[in-house]
Amino acid sequence: MSLANRLAEERRGRLAAERLLELKQAELTAANRKLGRHALALTKQIGVSQAEVKTVRVENEKVKSDLTDAHEKVVQAEQRLWHSIQAFQDGFAFFDSDSTLIGANTAYLNIFDELEEVVPGISYIRILQLLTDEGLINTGDVPMDDWRQMMTERWMSPTPEPVIVRLWDDRYLKLLDQRGHGGDMVSLALDITTTVQYEEELRTARERAEAANRAKSAFLANMSHEIRTPMNGVVGMAELLNDTNLTSEQSLYANTIKNSGEALLVIINDVLDYSKIEADKLVLHPEPFNLEQSMHEVVTLLQPSARDKGLSMMVDYDLFLPSTYVSDPGRVRQILTNLVGNAVKFTKSGHVALRATGVPTQDDSHCAIHITIEDTGIGIPEEKQAHIFGEFNQVEDERNRKFEGTGLGLAITKRLIELMGGEIWVESEEGKGSCFGFRLVLPISEPKTVSVPKLPESLRVVLVVDDQDVSREIVEKQLLQLGMVIERATTREEALQKMENRVDLVICDCDMAETDGVALAKEIRGGANGQVPILALSASPTIVGDPTVQGLANSILTKPVPRLELFKQLSAIGNGQQPQVATPAAPEQNVAVEVQPGEDLAHAAVSGAPKMRILAAEDNKTNQLVFRKMVKELNIDLKFANNGVEAVEGYQEFKPDLIFMDISMPIMDGKQATSEIRRIESTTGKHVPIVALTAHAMTGDSEGILAAGLDFYLTKPLRKNLIHERIEAHCPEAVQPLRS
Ligand code: ADP
């Protein structure tokens, strides 16, 4: 090869090499640029990561410090909790679900008298074993094994009942164990030694008090009995005395003895009953008796006092209720008398209604009887209702009473009803009235109810004339049961208007307020339908016994009408017979002691001078009579006041020279009346001597009495010579001489 060729070849080779170099260099540059971009991106990324790492580190630091704080707090709380548990006077421990002791305070561990074995890790069963083996527990009569078994069973139950254990040193612990989360058990051992001792003392004290109370009641029962016996003699003899030839004055005395004795007997009977119940000595004597009849008898007994006040009394005995039961009839009557007596006593106007309903038991052998006594009287304030069944509890203040009574009636009634297995309650609204109710479950003696007569078609429409809704409704209810059609009237006009239509029978109340029932009966007789049978109803014996009424009415029935009696009369009318005039068993009326003013003044006026004027404030009529008799030989002008208010009025109108003032009086007592008189005197400058007459002969009473403005005081029973002494001491000069 030529040199030129070689050179050309070399040049070509060099050129190719140079091109390759250039190519490689371009590639290198591109790679370098890429590398540079990567390096830049990486540097940026590293920067971000570094920042992040820094933040995390800061956060880590904070978390670490928070954790340390939290840990410190937990430790502190745990310590506090533990110190508190340690501070307990009572034992505290907790066990895991395997009954292994996890922890206990010192008080708990002290129970074991420093037994080294009792530390966390010991099982509850072992603890029980140690308690018995080491004589730490006093199980009384219960054998140790039994005791442990009982305690183990208790421990294993899901909710162990609290238990009281006695330790060897007579300390008492109440163990309260509560299962917690995951079967752990928290145990409390409360030291109740003082409570147990206190309860023991209380029990002994109560037993002693009950024994004393029983002894007191037994004593009272004996005493009352002892008083009752001679008292009965007094009453009986006074009655006998009355049957002999007596002057009117002697008869008044004898009657007074009898009435006072009877009043005292009622009180003594209450005390006797109450003491007997208290001393658990009251025994019931059950026998068959007629409940409906008893209710009517009680009403008949109390009818006179109710009639005097213008109260109507009614009995609503459910038609389908049997009448005869087995119980202590005397005690049932006593319950009824107490409740009906109170209803009459505390009711001024309106009515007293007795209602009896009942539900027989499934086998018809017994009946749950529900009796209510409803009145329209003064009512009982709500806050007092709970107390009236307690002994000696009266709604009125003792010193200022308008109503007499021992305050034992309801307490006895309640106890009697409870003794019969029943219950009593009251519903009342002050100023509106009261309703006492009681429930008794009594064996039925004769299941028969009253047989309802079958009345003929000719006796279907009945006109009931009565202005009192309650009593009319009761009669209507009974008539409806007989299938009668009721027409009702509350006035004369209404009645006469109704008479224009068909009326087969007239039942007319003769005690209506506006309408004169007797005159109405006369008008009916004279009218177009004059032959219609008339049944007259009245609570008044004068009407019942009145021949005019007897001539007008086919029958006169006393209110409240027993349903048997009503049915009998209706049957007679229905059968076309002339019904008999039902003669009422008029209850004996209480003989009230009437004191005639000015009676027995032995001495006539001597001159124109006035007599010495004496005002005696005394609520008890008998004491008034006694006082009058004691001063009868003195030439005085005597006036009585029945209560404190009348005493103040008497002082102002009568202008007495001397006042005798009873302390315990209704409406206003003697002390209040005296204060009032002294207040009036402060404006006149006068001073009337006032002598207190008091039954309160207790120490300390005299100060209270004299402090009220009374000048002297005499204790009851009254003594004639002391009264004369007072009168003579205060006799003014310008009056007629006291004695001739
Ligand atoms: P007391 O002998 O005073 O009547 P009770 O035990 O029978 O004693 O009654 C206690 C008190 O309950 C009475 O004093 C009276 O305040 C009140 N009370 C009882 N029954 C009635 C009633 N029907 N209406 C209003 N108050 C009554």
More reliable by pLDDT, 729 or 453: 729
The string of DSSP letters for 552-564 reads H-SEEEESSPPHH
CA angle 557, 563, 568 (to 5 degrees): 70
Enumerate the β-bridge partners of residue 427.
Answer: 435
**Alpha-carbon distance 697 to 714, whole Å?**
9
**Residue 15: pLDDT over 50:** yes
* Cα of 304 from ligand 1 centre, angstroms: 20
> What is the Rg, in whole angstroms, of the alpha carbon atoms belonging to the chain?
50
What is the pLDDT averaged over residues 216-239? 74
**Residue 223: pLDDT over 80:** no
CA angle 560, 564, 567 (to 5 degrees): 100
The residue among 648, 651, 631, 637 whose CA lies nearest residue 604 is: 637
pLDDT tens digits, one per residue of 77-99: 989 888 888 888 889 999 999 99
The residue among 519, 538, 521, 543 whose CA lies nearest residue 530 is: 521
* Cα of 345 from ligand 1 centre, angstroms: 8
* Cα of 349 from ligand 1 centre, angstroms: 17
Return the H-helix or E-strand segment holding 29.
helix 3-87
**Alpha-carbon distance 548 to 740, whole Å?**
56
pLDDT of residue 161: 93
What is the pLDDT averaged over residues 170-184? 90
Q: Residue 569: pLDDT band by 50, 70, 90 thresholds?
A: confident
Q: Residue 644: pLDDT band by 50, 70, 90 thresholds?
A: very high
State the distance between the two ends of the chain, measured CA to CA, in whole angstroms: 207
Q: Which residues have a Cβ under 8 Å from the Cβ of 450 and sit 6 or more positions away?
A: 319, 323, 563, 564, 567
Of ligand 1's listed atoms, the one at least distance from the Cα of 391 is 6
Enumerate the β-bridge partners of residue 327.
Answer: 287
699 sits in the region (left: phi over 0; alpha: psi -120 to 50; else beta) called beta
Cβ(342) to ligand 1 under 6 A?
A: yes
Q: Classify residue 603 by burial, with Cβ atoms within 10 Å: 0-12, 13-18, 19+.
A: middle
**Residue 153: pLDDT over 80:** yes
Q: Which residues have a Cβ under 8 Å from the Cβ of 352 and sit 6 or more positions away?
A: 306, 311, 312, 313, 314, 340, 343, 344, 373, 374, 375, 376
**Alpha-carbon distance 678 to 688, whole Å?**
9
pLDDT of residue 255: 83
Contact 166, 138 (CB under 8 A): yes
Enumerate the β-bridge partners of residue 558.
Answer: 538
Which of 266-270, 666-670, 678-682, 727-731 is predicted with the least confidence, judged by mean pLDDT? 266-270
Percent of the chain past pLDDT 90, that is, above it, reads: 41
The dihedrals phi and psi of 99, each to the nearest 5 degrees, come to 65, 30
What is the pLDDT averaged over residues 337-357? 93
**Residue 12: pLDDT over 80:** yes
Written as six digits, the tokens of 667 are: 């409406």
pLDDT tens digits, one per residue of 24-74: 999 999 999 999 999 999 999 998 999 999 999 999 999 999 999 999 999
Q: Using omega within 30 degrees of 0 as the cis cutoff, is the peptide bond preceding 560 cis?
A: yes
Q: Taking the CB of residue 490, how many other CB atoms lie within 10 A of it?
A: 18
Cβ(337) to ligand 1 under 6 A?
A: no
- Dihedral through CA 663, CA 666, CA 671, CA 676, nearest 10? -140
pLDDT of residue 225: 66
Cβ(538) to ligand 1 under 6 A?
A: no
Rounded to the nearest 10 degrees, the angle between the axes of helix 144-156 and helix 124-133 is 160
More reliable by pLDDT, 205 or 552: 205
Dihedral sign of CA atoms 233, 239, 245, 247 in order = positive
Tokens 């309703």 found at: 435
pLDDT of residue 517: 84
Written as six digits, the tokens of 592 are: 């009230």
* Cα of 598 from ligand 1 centre, angstroms: 37
Q: Residue 447: pLDDT band by 50, 70, 90 thresholds?
A: low
pLDDT of residue 251: 86
Cβ(670) to ligand 1 under 6 A?
A: no
Written as six digits, the tokens of 197 are: 């001792």
pLDDT tens digits, one per residue of 495-522: 989 998 889 999 999 888 788 888 888 8
**Residue 604: pLDDT over 50:** no
Q: Classify residue 716 by burial, with Cβ atoms within 10 Å: 0-12, 13-18, 19+.
A: middle
Pairing, β 485-489 against β 461-465:
parallel
* Cα of 388 from ligand 1 centre, angstroms: 7
The residue among 639, 637, 620, 640 whose CA lies nearest residue 694 is: 620
Written as six digits, the tokens of 347 are: 């009711």
pTM comes to: 0.54
Give exposure, 286-304, as e/b (b: 16+ Cβ within 10 Å): eeebbbbbbbbbbbbbbbb
The residue among 130, 128, 136 whose CA lies nearest residue 167 is: 136
Q: Residue 471: pLDDT band by 50, 70, 90 thresholds?
A: confident
Dihedral sign of CA atoms 672, 673, 674, 675 in order = positive
Of ligand 1's listed atoms, the one at least distance from the Cα of 436 is 23
More reliable by pLDDT, 590 or 730: 730
More reliable by pLDDT, 608 or 418: 418
Enumerate the β-bridge partners of residue 312.
Answer: 351
Which residue, judged by its Cα, is nearest atom 14 of ligand 1? 394
Which residue, judged by its Cα, is nearest atom 21 of ligand 1? 342
Cβ(388) to ligand 1 under 6 A?
A: yes
The dihedrals phi and psi of 17, each to the nearest 5 degrees, come to -65, -40
pLDDT of residue 701: 58
The string of DSSP letters for 625-658 reads HHHHHHTTTS-EEEEEESSHHHHHHHHHHH--SE
Distance of CA 726 to the CA centre of its chain: 48
Which of 350-359, 397-406, 479-488 is predicted with the least confidence, judged by mean pLDDT? 397-406
What is the pLDDT averaged over residues 606-630? 82
Q: Side-chain half-sphere of 649: how many Cα atoms within 13 Å? A: 9
Which of 186-200, 281-295, 588-602, 651-665 is predicted with the least confidence, judged by mean pLDDT? 588-602
More reliable by pLDDT, 694 or 486: 486
Longest dimension (CA), the chain: 208
Mean pLDDT score of the chain: 85
* Cα of 405 from ligand 1 centre, angstroms: 8
pLDDT of residue 531: 87
**Alpha-carbon distance 93 to 100, whole Å?**
10
Which residue, judged by its Cα, is nearest atom 4 of ligand 1? 405
Count each helix (H run) and each strand (E run) in the chain, helices first. 21, 23
Which residue, judged by its Cα, is nearest atom 2 of ligand 1? 405
